[in-house]
A and B are shown apart, each in its own frame.
Chain A
């Protein structure tokens, strides 16, 4: 201890700022790990909060449909309009539906849906839990002899996990309708022909891996936002910070998981 104090006098202050930052980062990581372990432990324990889970599915899923739908439609439309000139140069305009469907189903749909969820759902959960924390509602549940973790955290994370694949399917569908609209702005392709061509290039190995990765996107978004809300600091500053970190870390994790998923898919499915 004495040596540490002597060293503290000799070294510039910024060294200790870095040391404090590393220490706080590592302890945060350990706490997040324990939080995740507790989630999996409590997930399978009785009683199941079915009513709260369904309520969260409604709030996280159903309430996100307008935003996801609008974004999906614009995404499909813009992607089609932007891609058409390039394909036209090679005389491959007929490949447009297939190219759009593969890129939306395999990559853009899941990632965009997850990013929107990280923004809307992640910030919502982070701020809600943080405000419950600072107004002592979580403490009130705890002292009443109930399990706030199970009621608040497990239900929200499961709802995020369960709803993200469904939202992705919805987003992909609307994006394809957007693409169909885009194709018909300067051309004339029938609905049947467009979707026959779009589905011709799609296989189960495109659809299932992308839906499975959205489960992990939901898990990461739910866990990160619940963790930040549940461990928020005091005051309104803590609420804002929890919402902000939930969005930033959630979005970052979406890309990290996506990268890992691409690697795993390419190994196992030779894609």
Chain B
């Protein structure tokens, strides 16, 4: 069953969880994002598709304050990350999970230490509680016996799963996925997509998934947004976009 079929918007009258308005970003003469606008409600899965270099990753990096946009407004959970102090920004970031393309696991730490890092930095939880959360998160991603392994001992797919475990252990309200299935074989890709879907079902979180993988988009999306040359070319449900009369959109999704 796809996310589109499962989708049942939660509190559709409530304020959107993510609100992007006329977002712009350029690198020198290269205009990567030109007036991007969209909204996302709680529990929605938005898949952002587009050719390489069209600004998909820049978009989500702007959302967590890793890249400063040139213009426009970003409102996440009622706050603009670019107007916050470092302390408030970090508080907001704790509600947002980010899965990096490569997993971005900390090389010098074991899987267990990777997952415990944020909690140990905060020094607010007891070790027993942290360990329990780690076991749950590893169980959730299907890798319960990897706690003592180093990231270098893991395969690409396992690294992404552990990256996801490190994200969900914090129980974020929003998860941003940067190409979660890139570099994986078709079977592992499908498993990863199903994992994204099961996490959405379990935690009822809002997700933005950046991908090139059409199968992943089909399986995980409630909504799809196609970017072309820094602009939103078209958006809607996956099945609606598949029937698009636009040749570029049609060829991209089919």
Contacts and interface: CB of A to CB of B under 8 A. Distances in A.
A141 B104 CA distance: 9
Contacts of A146: 90, 117-118, 121
Interface stretch (B92-100, B188-196, B235-243): B92-100
Contacts of B96: 143
B64 interface: yes
B123 A136 contact: no
Interface string B88-113: 00110110101011101111000000
B117 A144 contact: yes
A19 interface: no
A127 B169 CA distance: 30
B10 interface: no
Instruction: Select the residue from B66, B166, B170 with max chain A CB neighbours within 10 A.
Output: B66
Contacts of A131: 107
A140 B91 contact: no
Contacts of B170: 144
Interface string A192-232: 00000000000000000000000000000000000000000
Nearest to B114: A140
B190 to A, nearest CB: 25
A132 B109 CA distance: 12
A170 interface: no
Contacts of B123: 47
A145 B107 contact: no
A147 B61 CA distance: 17
Nearest to A55: B108
A35 interface: no
A151 B120 CA distance: 12
B121 A136 contact: no
A132 B108 CA distance: 10
A140 B90 contact: no
A60 to B, nearest CB: 14
A135 B117 contact: no
Interface of B is mostly: loop
Contact of A137 (B90, B91, B107): B107
A91 B26 CA distance: 75
A136 B159 CA distance: 13
B67 to A, nearest CB: 10
Contacts of A141: 106, 117
A47 B122 CA distance: 9
Contact of A145 (B66, B94, B104): B94
A142 B96 CA distance: 12
Interface string B146-174: 00000000000000000000100010000
B90 A145 contact: yes
B121 A139 contact: no
A133 to B, nearest CB: 11
Interface string A40-59: 00000001000000000000
Contact of A140 (B94, B100, B121): B100
Contact of A144 (B93, B105, B107): B93
Contacts of B91: 145
A143 B107 contact: no
Interface string B4-36: 000000000000000000000000000000000
Interface in A134-168: 135-137, 139-147, 151
Contacts of A139: 61, 66, 100, 104
Nearest to B89: A145
Interface in A116-141: 131-132, 135-137, 139-141
Contact of B102 (A136, A143, A144): A136
Nearest to B163: A140
Contacts of A135: 102, 104, 107
A147 B89 CA distance: 11
A128 to B, nearest CB: 8
A145 B118 CA distance: 8
Nearest to B170: A144
A226 to B, nearest CB: 15
11 contacts: A47-B121, A135-B104, A136-B100, A139-B61, A139-B66, A139-B104, A143-B98, A145-B91, A145-B94, A145-B118, A146-B121
Given A140-B100, A145-B93, 9 more contacts: A136-B100, A136-B101, A137-B105, A137-B107, A140-B98, A141-B106, A141-B117, A142-B66, A147-B90
Interface of A: 47, 131-132, 135-137, 139-147, 151
Interface pairs A-B: 8 shortest CB-CB? A140-B104, A145-B90, A145-B93, A136-B104, A145-B94, A143-B98, A146-B121, A136-B100
